[in-house]
Amino acid sequence: MDKIIVIDYGSQYNELIVRRLRDLNVESYMYPSTFSYEEALKIKDLKGIILSGGFDSVSNSSLSFNEDLLKLNVPILGICYGMELLSFYLKGKINKAKNSEYGRSLINVDNNSLIFKALPRSFNVWMSHSDSVSFEDEPNLKIIAKNQNNEVVGFSYKDNLYGLLFHPEVNNTDFSKEIFLNFISICNAKREYKMDNFVDLMVKEIKEEVGNKKVILGLSGGVDSAVCALLLHKAIGDQLISVFIDHGLNRKFEKEELEERFVKKLHLNVLIRDFSELFLDRLSGVTDPEEKRKIIGKTFIDCFTKVSNEFSDVSFLAQGTLYTDIVESGKGGISKVIKSHHNVGGLPKDLKFKLIEPLKTLYKDQVREIGKLLGLDEEFLYRQPFPGPGLGIRVIGEITKEKLDILKDADYILRSEVKTNHLDNSIWQYFCVLTNIKTVGVMGDNRTYNYALSIRCVTSIDGMTADFYRMDYDILAKIANRIVNEVKGINRILYDVTSKPPSTIEYE
Supply the residues annotated as catalytic.
Answer: 80, 167, 169
Q: Which of 110, 205, 405, 506 binds ligand XMP (CB under 6 A)?
A: 506
Residue number, 137 or 290, with CB nearest to ligand XMP: 290
Cβ 275 to ligand XMP, closest distance in Å? Answer: 18
Count of positions on this chain that bind ligand XMP (CB under 6 A): 11
Please state the closest distance from residue 97 (CB atom) to ligand XMP, in A: 40
Residues contacting 474, CB < 8 A, separation 6+: none
Query: Is residue 429 within 8 Å of 409, Cβ to Cβ?
Result: no
Task: Round to whole Å and give the CA distance between 273 and 278.
Answer: 12
Q: Please identify, among the stretches 3-11, 278-286, 386-394, 410-418, the one whose residues bind ligand XMP according to the rule CB under 6 A.
A: 386-394
Around 273, how many Cα atoms within 13 Å sit in the side-chain half-sphere?
21
Dist. CA 466–CA 469, nearest whole Å: 9
Q: CA-to-CA distance for 267 and 264, rounded, in angstroms?
A: 6
CA–CA distance, 291 with 309 (Å, rounded to integer): 27
Q: Which is nearer to ligand XMP, 250 or 315 (CB)?
A: 250
The minimum distance between CB 462 and ligand XMP, in angstroms, equals 9
Stretch that binds ligand XMP, among 83-91, 268-276, 308-316, 500-508 (CB under 6 A): 500-508
Does position 156 bind ligand XMP by CB under 6 A? no
Contacts of 137 (CB under 8 A, 6+ apart): none
What track of x and - describes contact with ligand XMP for positions 253 through 292 (by CB under 6 A)?
----------------------------------------
Q: 446-475: which residues touch ligand XMP (CB under 6 A)? A: 463
Q: CA-CA distance, 151 to 48, in Å (whole number)?
A: 27
CA-to-CA distance for 428 and 503, rounded, in angstroms? 16
Residues paired with 449 in a beta bridge: 440
For ligand XMP, the closer of residues 100 and 287 by Cβ is: 287
Which residue type sits at 478? Answer: K
Q: In this structure, are strands 161-164 and 93-109 parallel, antiparallel, or unpaired?
A: unpaired
**Contacting ligand XMP within 288-307 (CB under 6 A):** 293
Does the protein bind ligand XMP through residue 500 (CB under 6 A)?
A: yes
* Candidate ranges 160-168, 248-256, 474-482, 498-506; the one touching ligand XMP (CB under 6 A): 498-506
Does residue 387 touch ligand XMP according to CB under 6 A?
A: yes
Nearer to ligand XMP, 140 or 384 (CB): 384
Q: Considering the rule CB under 6 A, would residue 324 count as an interface residue with ligand XMP? A: no
Nearer residue to ligand XMP within complex by CB, 152 or 458:
458
Residue 333 engages ligand XMP in binding (rule: CB under 6 A): no
DSSP 36: -
Check whether the bond before 501 is cis (ω within 30° of 0).
Answer: yes
No. of helices (H) and no. of strands (E), the chain: 14, 19
- The nearest distance, CB 51 to ligand XMP, in angstroms, is 34
- Closest distance to ligand XMP from the beta carbon of 205 (Å): 28
The one among 68, 106, 385, 402 contacting ligand XMP by CB under 6 A: 385
Check residue 389 for interaction with ligand XMP (CB under 6 A). Answer: yes
Would you say 133 or 258 has its CB closer to ligand XMP?
258
| Alpha-helix runs per DSSP H in 139-273 | 176-186, 195-210, 223-236, 254-258
Q: Does position 348 bind ligand XMP by CB under 6 A?
A: no
Report in angstroms how near the CB of residue 391 gets to ligand XMP at its nearest: 11
429 near ligand XMP, judged by CB under 6 A: yes
CA 360 to chain centre: 10
Applying CB under 6 A, among 289, 388, 397, 441 the residue interacting with ligand XMP is 388
Tell me if 168 contacts ligand XMP by CB under 6 A. no
Listing from the earlier edge strand, what are the strands of the sheet with 354-356?
Answer: 270-274, 240-246, 214-218, 314-318, 354-356, 338-340
500 forms beta bridges with 466
- Among residues 333 and 463, whose Cβ is nearest to ligand XMP? 463
**Strand pairing partners for 131?**
96
Helices 289-309 and 276-283 sit at what angle, rounded to 10 degrees? 150
Q: Which of 279, 311, 310, 271 is nearest to 295 (CA)?
A: 279
Report how far residue 54's alpha carbon sits from residue 274's, in angstroms, rounded to the nearest whole number.
Answer: 50
Least distance to ligand XMP, CB of residue 457, Å: 12
Identify the helix (H) or strand (E) that includes residue 62.
none
In terms of CB distance, is 79 or 434 closer to ligand XMP?
A: 434
Contacts of 299 (CB under 8 A, 6+ apart): 247, 275, 278, 279, 282
Does 504 help bind ligand XMP (rule: CB under 6 A)?
A: yes
Residue 505: alpha-carbon gap to chain centroid: 19
Q: Considering only 46-54, 250-258, 384-392, 438-446, which stretch makes contact with ligand XMP by CB under 6 A?
A: 384-392
Stretch that binds ligand XMP, among 59-67, 116-124, 349-357, 499-507 (CB under 6 A): 499-507
Please count the other Cβ atoms lying within 10 Å of the Cβ belonging to residue 220: 19
Using the contact rule CB under 6 A, the part of the chain among 107-115, 116-124, 126-134, 497-505 near ligand XMP is 497-505
Residues found near ligand XMP in the complex (CB under 6 A): 293, 385, 387-389, 429, 463, 500, 504-506
